[in-house]
């Protein structure tokens, strides 16, 4: 440490002792002031407010013990080292009781002991100061943190409410089709998002998206996604381009990819989006980095549909591919899931989890409520991730 920053005050009526103390401490780098008696010492103390005082206990004008108390009346935290003759240990004990930081016995044979006592006393002061500072800092940060957490709870409540108020009607039935869905959010705000619409009495458009991250940002992204897709569908009749179903889907994905990158946040999303043309009985769909893959259930048998593609919001200029599928003419169920469902299936390997998911779908006969019952989502207190399920059933 830089000793010169410390102001020490030496008070002793014996000139020789005072001078040798002062000289040694100055040689050690401290800034030293000295006084020949208690009253001069106290005046100097009041003027300088030194970091440490070294005082003789027996002086002609005022007792050193009285001086110690007077100093502590002004600034209780100032360390005072007392010096006493060997024969008067009672005074030392009294001084220590009154809060003296340390003591030295005359004659001071080795001045290094004095310097060590000074260091120790200054260190104790510093420790107390640091302690108080850290304690206050920690307290302040914790209060701030609590405020943040309380605000987050408000955000969460408002965010959940908005997300739910924007959710599509479930079940929604039209033209032999039943759409139903469920999103069970984890402790955090949900980044899962489902929407579907029956457009121009012919097309079932639907998607299930999963935005990465936790908190308000992904929730805002789900709202934005819902809004931008709905606007495009409503205003521009996108997705229901009679001429070219495929290019409509691809333009939509490219547009939300550009916008999500433009948003400049660290959240991306995976998505499965599709359109069923009820007239031609064809399904057009895109899988954008999303797992698990869509599941098709026909005649009691479930299988994954093929598909792969990049997530959205990560790669500029990314392209996707539309898969076309002729749907069965009889009853079928098409099921989409967020990957939260896989964490609830008690298998270790992904491939085994996926196999089991197919069995769950078969057992559920494509009903969302049954799926949720079978994987026991509702018995889990703290879901590791949101669980979203979308089912589109055709009942002829």
Interface residues toward a copy of itself, by CB under 8 A: 86, 89-90, 92-93, 96-97, 102-103, 105, 109-110, 112-113, 116, 120, 123-124, 127-128, 130-131, 134-135, 137-138, 141-142, 144-145, 148-149, 151-152, 154-155, 157-159, 161-162, 165-166, 213-221, 223-224, 227-228, 259, 262-267
Gap between the Cα atoms of 135 and 177, Å rounded = 63
DSSP 8-state assignment for residue 5: G
Residues 338, 340, 342, 348, CA torsion sign: positive
Q: Shortest gap between Cβ of 302 and a copy of itself (angstroms)?
A: 36
Nearer to a copy of itself, 84 or 323 (CB): 84
Nearer to a copy of itself, 161 or 315 (CB): 161
Gap between the Cα atoms of 349 and 347, Å rounded = 6
Q: Shortest gap between Cβ of 270 and a copy of itself (angstroms)?
A: 17
Q: Which residues pair with 206 in a beta bridge?
A: 196, 274
Q: Shortest gap between Cβ of 217 and a copy of itself (angstroms)?
A: 4
Nearer to a copy of itself, 86 or 396 (CB): 86
Nearer to a copy of itself, 148 or 319 (CB): 148
Q: Shortest gap between Cβ of 84 and a copy of itself (angstroms)?
A: 11
Alpha-carbon distances, residue 274 vs 252, 292, 343 (angstroms)? 11, 15, 25
Nearer to a copy of itself, 185 or 292 (CB): 185
- Considering only CA atoms, which of 233, 217, 213, 214 is closest in space to residue 168? 233
Nearer to a copy of itself, 218 or 292 (CB): 218
Residues 174, 178, 184, 188, CA torsion sign: negative
Q: Shortest gap between Cβ of 7 and a copy of itself (angstroms)?
A: 23
Q: Shortest gap between Cβ of 118 and a copy of itself (angstroms)?
A: 12
**What are the backbone dihedrals phi and psi of residue 28, each rounded to the nearest 5 degrees, phi first?**
-80, 0
* Angle in degrees, CA 263, 266, 267, rounded to 5: 80
């Amino acid at each position: 440490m830089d000793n010169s920053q410390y102001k020490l005050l030496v008070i002793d009526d014996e000139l020789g002792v005072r001078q040798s103390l002062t000289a040694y401490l100055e040689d050690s780098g401290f800034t030293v002031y000295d006084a020949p008696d208690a009253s001069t010492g106290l005046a100097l103390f009041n003027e300088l407010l030194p970091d440490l005082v070294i005082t003789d206990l027996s002086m002609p004008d005022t007792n050193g013990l009285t001086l110690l108390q007077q100093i502590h009346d002004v600034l209780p935290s100032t360390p005072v080292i007392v010096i006493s003759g060997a024969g008067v240990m009672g005074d030392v004990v009294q001084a220590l009781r009154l809060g003296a930081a340390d003591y030295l016995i005359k004659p001071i044979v080795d001045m290094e002991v004095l310097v060590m006592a000074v260091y120790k006393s200054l260190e104790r002061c510093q420790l107390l100061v640091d302690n108080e500072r850290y304690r206050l800092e920690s307290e302040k940060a914790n209060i701030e943190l609590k405020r943040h957490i309380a605000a987050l709870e408000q955000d969460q409540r408002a965010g959940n409410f908005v997300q739910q108020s924007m959710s599509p009607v479930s079940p929604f039935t039209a033209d032999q089709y039943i759409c139903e869905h469920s999103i069970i959010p984890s402790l955090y705000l949900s980044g899962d998002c489902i929407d579907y619409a029956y457009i121009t009495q012919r097309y079932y458009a639907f998607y299930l998206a999963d935005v990465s991250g936790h908190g308000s940002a992904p929730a805002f992204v789900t709202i934005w996604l819902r809004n931008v897709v709905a606007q495009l569908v409503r205003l521009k009749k996108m997705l229901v381009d009679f001429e070219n179903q495929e290019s409509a889907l691809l333009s939509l994905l490219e547009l939300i990819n550009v916008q999500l990158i433009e948003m400049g946040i660290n959240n991306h999303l995976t998505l499965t989006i599709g359109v069923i043309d009820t007239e031609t009985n064809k399904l057009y769909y895109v899988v954008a980095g999303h797992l698990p893959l869509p599941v098709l259930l026909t005649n009691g048998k479930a299988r994954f549909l093929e598909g792969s593609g990049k997530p959205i919001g990560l790669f500029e200029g990314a392209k996707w591919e539309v898969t076309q599928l002729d749907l069965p003419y009889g009853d079928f169920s098409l099921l989409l899931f967020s990957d939260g469902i896989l964490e609830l299936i008690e298998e270790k390997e992904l491939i085994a989890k996926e196999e089991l998911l197919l069995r769950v779908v078969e057992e559920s006969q494509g009903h969302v409520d049954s799926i949720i019952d079978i994987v026991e989502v509702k018995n889990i207190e703290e879901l590791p991730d949101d669980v979203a399920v979308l089912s589109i059933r055709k009942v002829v």
